[in-house]
Amino acid sequence: MTNGKILIVEDDADISLGYKVFLQVRYEVFFAVDVPSAVSEALRLQPDLIILDLGLPGEDGFVALERFQENPILSGLPVIVVSGRDPAANKNRSLEKGAKAFIRKPWNNAELLTTIDQFIGRGERVAAGGASLDP
């Protein structure tokens, strides 16, 4: 029994494994490596939360945020941006594009967990109230 599904959009295999080992004891974790796979996996899995890197091959994480916002099925999903980029230049832009939080790499596990728990709880409530989204 897990606490929910998390889709992790991250192109670095080592970091992905780092997420997996740390998060799989609490959540079901899935991975995408770029914007197109992030959108298709999000639609297929309907995760409770998305962790999104900004520096991705091809289109960057900001494009992913736009794609999520455009899609009525995905627009309500909580997204946490976890990036090595300078928060001064990228945090507000991420939040404006719909992200719920911005965490700097290298992240602190305790901080990441607290943030995830905060939004996954909220995500469940939204899903329960948004039954019309289910086919």
Partner 1 sequence: MIAEIIPAGTEAPLRFLLIEDNPTDVELLEYELRRSGFEFTLAVVQTPEEFTRELRTTPPHLVMADYNLPSWRGMEALEIIAREGQDIPLILVTGALADTTAVDCIKEGATDYVLKGTLARLPVAIRRAFQEKNLREQRKRAEENLARSKRALEKSREDQLRFKDDLLSHVSHELRTPLTAIKQFSTILLDGSAGELNHDQHKYQQIVLKNILQLQAMIDDLLEVTRLDNGKLTFKPESVSVPAILTDAIDTVYVSAHAKGITLSCDPSPGVPAACADPTRLRQILLILIDNALRFTPSGGAIRIRARPSEEDFKFVLFEVSDTGCGINSEDLDRVFERLYQVRPDQSSREGLGLGLFICQGLVTRHGGQIWVESELNKGSTFSFTLPVFSVNNLIAPLEAALKSQTL
Residues 65, 97 contacting (CB under 8 angstroms): yes
CB of 36 to partner 1, least distance (A): 22
Q: In which region does residue 77 sit, left (phi positive, over 0), alpha (psi from -120 to 50) or beta (all else)?
A: beta
Q: Closer CB to partner 1, residue 40 or residue 109? A: 109
- Do residues 78 and 49 lie in contact, with contact meaning Cβ atoms separated by under 8 Å? yes
Please, what is the minimum distance in Å from the beta carbon of residue 85 to partner 1?
A: 6
Comparing CB distances to partner 1, the nearer of 74 and 103 is: 103
- Minimum separation from the CB atom of position 107 to partner 1 (A): 7
Contacts 24+ apart (CB under 8 A), 88-91: 90/54
Binding site for partner 1 (CB under 8 A): 12, 14-15, 18-19, 21-22, 25, 55, 84-86, 88-89, 105-107, 109
